[in-house]
Structure 1
Amino acid sequence: MSRDDSRTPDLAALGDRLRGLRAERGLSLSALAAAAGIGKGSLSEIEAGQRNPTLATLYALAAPLAVPLATLLADQPGAEVSADGLTATLLSTETTADGAVVEIYRLAFRPEADRRSPAHGAGVREHVLVTAGRLEVHHRDGSAVLGPGDSLSFSSAAAHRYRPLGGEACSAVLVITSPH
């Protein structure tokens, strides 16, 4: 996707947000890169707005910063990120009365997708509703195969995995709830 596509996160603004969050938490560039498991040079390029991070990289950065993915996307509906055969489009972000953050995404999986997601932090839950195709979901407490209209809620405080079945594309709605 080109940089001027309105669905692509503004790379300069994303870099500014990352740098600001890192500074608020008193983390050096090296410390955040190590905590996220990415190269210091890559993080430097992302912060400078010179690199378009993948979904996996954004999740890796969100975890040590203790923020939802939507915070890195500026809570901008329509922002899209892709990785591992998956395109996630942010539809909405809400904050509840008790300070919890609710993120809503549309997920589009290509047939070969195999999305392995890192842990999102204590108390974070994912709620997935399949709208087309079949989706295999592996999480800490087990696994399930979901078809159109099927849903599943689970703790995403541990690594988890999404994979479409039958050699077909799959789509779903994902709601992520993060405690305050």
Structure 2
Amino acid sequence: MTQPIGIIADSLVRERTRAGLSLAEVARRAGVAKSTLSQLESGNGNPSIETLWALCVALNIPFARLMEPAENATQVIRRGEGNKVVAEQADYQAILLASCPPGARRDIYLLMAQPGSERLSRPHTPGAVEHVIVTQGRALLGLKDSPETLEAGDYICYPGDREHIFRALEPDTLAILVAEQG
């Protein structure tokens, strides 16, 4: 959906799901009919500004977020790719993989895995994001339905509030996991 109502519909569903609220609860909080919200989430209707503002308040989001198209949910940066900043007086390079959103919390983990069965993680809290850098070996990881194969030096970012997996493809696979929660 690329028309404004389509973007709004997708945003309403995305933000309601992220907040972990039912259709009925958001409608109640916003003071709109459940059928109205259902129509809007289906991409039907012509909502007033007042209705959209009420929904934003109910979802605790800024109004502009309703107009934002969905971002690509998974990002992969291969070793050597990305925007580099190089030091003048040392053999040192930095590549920004991800910036931290305001108010977010990040926890950092070292993952050590052996080939065999995959680690299936259930969805974490709404809005959670995971960043992983494979430092040794190879692994299949990311969203359960669309995992990526990463090698040492590769980076991936995916929504942690959806089912995701990690499966080592080589012995002694190591990775750094940064778990971000808003």
Shorter-chain TM-score tier? 0.3 to 0.5
TM-score (norm: length of structure 1): 0.42
**TM-score, normalised with respect to structure 2:** 0.42
Bigger radius of gyration, 1 or 2? 2
Higher RCO, Cα 8 Å, sep 6+: 2
